[in-house]
């Protein structure tokens, strides 16, 4: 299991292109959503966490998704 990372310390990598690839991540607090979001540049053009295309506010920590089964 990966450690939780503070958004104040480090954020996920993302494309510089607003329509570029986004990074799927787990977010905390889970009360914001089911704990899953994307990080990238979408509606605002600046990096942010998104769920269903809407920016998510109040995220304090995140972690990469675990590797899938083999």
Mean pLDDT, residues 41-63 taken together = 84
- pLDDT band at residue 51 using 50, 70 and 90 as cut-offs: confident
Which pLDDT belongs to residue 68? 83
Q: How far, in Å, CA of 37 to CA of 60, rounded? A: 13
Instruction: Tell me the whole-structure pTM to 2 decimals.
Output: 0.77
Full strand arrangement of the beta sheet holding 54-55:
5-6, 61-64, 23-28, 36-41, 47-51, 54-55
**Closest C-alpha to 44, from 12, 19, 25:** 19
pLDDT of residue 9: 93
Confidence grade of residue 31 (pLDDT, cut at 50, 70, 90)? low
């Amino acid at each position: 299991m990966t450690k939780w990372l503070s958004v104040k310390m480090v954020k996920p990598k993302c494309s510089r292109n607003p329509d570029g690839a986004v990074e799927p991540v787990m977010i905390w607090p889970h009360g914001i959503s089911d704990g899953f979001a994307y990080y990238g540049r979408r509606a605002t053009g600046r990096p942010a966490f998104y769920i269903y295309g809407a920016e998510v506010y109040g995220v304090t920590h995140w972690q990469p998704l675990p590797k899938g089964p083999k």
